Structure 1
Amino acid sequence: MRRRAEDYPFYDISGPIPIVHRGGNAVGPGTENTVEAFWSALQQGIGYGEVDVCGTIDNKTVAIHGTRNPFATRGGRDVLRSWIARHTRQELIKLPGFEQTPLLEEVLTEVPDMRFFIDLKTPEAIKPTAKAIDQLKVHDRVSVGTDKFGREVAAEMNGGGKDVCVGVSGWGAAILKVSGVTSVHLPHFALSRKLIDRAHDSGIRVITWPKNPEKNDHRDYIESSLDKGVYGVKSDHTKVLVDVFQLGGL
């Protein structure tokens, strides 16, 4: 069983790598986590994307973050994610503004030259995500992660003969102890050279994202992250990602 990140084809690029967060913003508002957004980023030379997924009651994995709440209730993203877990994908796409929500399988098959960090937002997404990966035979194109149930994800993705990259999100060094993890995803403010070096020495890639993307100077965030030695940088700002990496000769 492979355990270090460099043992996986998913990480056969030495890094650093640009990652379009939810497909990036090149296409325009309302297109996050869509085939169109990821395809646009790929055409601009970015080969890695992060896609958020939730699980439905009919065991489908839909590419959606769940930030927007289409209901006249409080609770934000948790309300929508809970609703998705109790309904089918067909019911979801009948909601205003959610008509184009793709299945994970559609994203993976329609953007075949991109590699994906799959961010599981609900536990209901674990098994159907594993099933989709098996059926499409895309084990080497994906890394599956979460910020809440890393051990369950690692057990599913690395059990029964499967060997899929697993990542976890968090704040500090404790996340390096989750068994079977090949990447850790940290907010920019939590980065330190000591933590990055410790992770890389353990065969774990460090990926970062801006905690408050709407308030960040994305060029400064990307450049300072690279200066600290991270393996991957996530951003919604596709053009800024492309510009920084091209200017740096990366």
Structure 2
Amino acid sequence: MEVLGHRGSRVPGPENTVEAVDAALRVGADGVEVDVRRSADGDLVCVHDARLSRPAGRAVVRQTTVALRARGIPLLDEILDVWDGRGRLICEIKNQPGQPDFDAPREQTARRLAETLRARGWTGRRPDAADLDAGAGGITVSSFDWFAIEAVRDADLAVTTAFLTMPRMSVSGGLAYARSAGHTELHVHTSAVLGTSDAAGRAREAGIRLITWTVTSLEDARRIRDAGVTGAICDDPMEIHQALSRPDGTPTTALDA
């Protein structure tokens, strides 16, 4: 099972930073996931929340790039640089109804992301599930917003796309859309996988790679692995990677180091 760092690596963190991405990849994670929004200047930045805690409630999309970087929020370009092709990089486009930067179906963030990846040379043949199964790595763009991933899918880039679903959406429904729209992966909540009979088998039948979010404990990691899913997005990728790599399933301790 692929072990992927959540927001780079929430443990040790800080999440969605160059340091978090590098830390996850250095300890053996198969890749990382980061959140992508845009600043008031139209630059792509990596931050989860649509609004900053300080100043209270100030929207990311209404902050300049300079102001956001002063708060420790990196540019996506900085994340791409530190990732540097090590394993997989999942860029989740944040574009949800009710948030200040929601703009479906215009999809400014998705289109800006496509421009950024094209400028960095991510053109050519689009990888498929077999490439990822073979450990090809590369970039995957995911979102709850299907307009966003369809915009990237249609941009003729050498990247894959993934449909990200809320816990309440059925695995079957997600698979049906992902297959019909030509997406490579379905990213579903752990509760949906554990609550669905043979979710991994259904995904294999549909030709879709199944990734779960977010694994926060070793117990859940083992249950997800035993369910046969392709990969898991984890808050602490180091702990999960070490535990699943050892014959007895236990994490490395200080005495082992």
Q: Report the TM-score, using the length of structure 1 for normalisation.
A: 0.77
Partner of 1:9: none
- Poorly superposed stretches of 4+, deviation over 4 Å: none
The offset of 1:234, in angstroms, is: 1.2
Change (3 A) 1:105 1:221: same
Out of 32, 36, 55, which is 2:19 matched to?
36
Taking the aligned partners of 2:79 and 2:163, their CA distance within structure 1 comes to 22
SS of the residue corresponding to residue 144 of structure 1 reads strand
Alignment of 1:63-102 (within 5 A): 63-66=46-49, 69-71=52-54, 79=57, 83-94=59-70, 98=71, 100-102=72-74
Q: How many residues align?
A: 215
Partner of 1:236: 235
Indicate conservation of the 8 Å contact 2:162/2:184, yes or no.
yes
Alignment of 1:28-177 (within 5 A): 28=13, 31-66=14-49, 69-71=52-54, 79=57, 83-94=59-70, 98=71, 100-112=72-84, 113-122=86-95, 123-138=107-122, 141-147=138-144, 149-150=145-146, 152-170=147-165, 171-172=169-170, 173-176=172-175, 177=177
Root mean square deviation, CA, Å: 2.4
The offset of 1:26, in angstroms, is: 4.4
Indicate conservation of the 8 Å contact 1:26/1:237, yes or no.
yes
Larger RCO, structure (CA 8 Å, separation 6 or more): 1
Deviations 1:122-160 (A, max 9, x none): 34421111111111124661110111x11x223321224
Partner of 1:4: none
The offset of 1:86, in angstroms, is: 2.8
Taking the aligned partners of 2:111 and 2:210, their CA distance within structure 1 comes to 25
Unaligned runs of 5+ in 1: 1-15, 74-78
Change (3 A) 1:161 1:72: closer
Matched AA of 1:53: V
The offset of 1:68, in angstroms, is: 6.8
Deviations 1:178-220 (A, max 9, x none): 4121111111111124332122222211111238x4xxxx010
Alignment of 1:6-21 (within 5 A): 16-21=1-6
Matched AA of 2:142: G
SS of the residue corresponding to residue 5 of structure 2 reads strand
SS of the residue corresponding to residue 101 of structure 1 reads coil
1:195 aligns with 2:199: yes
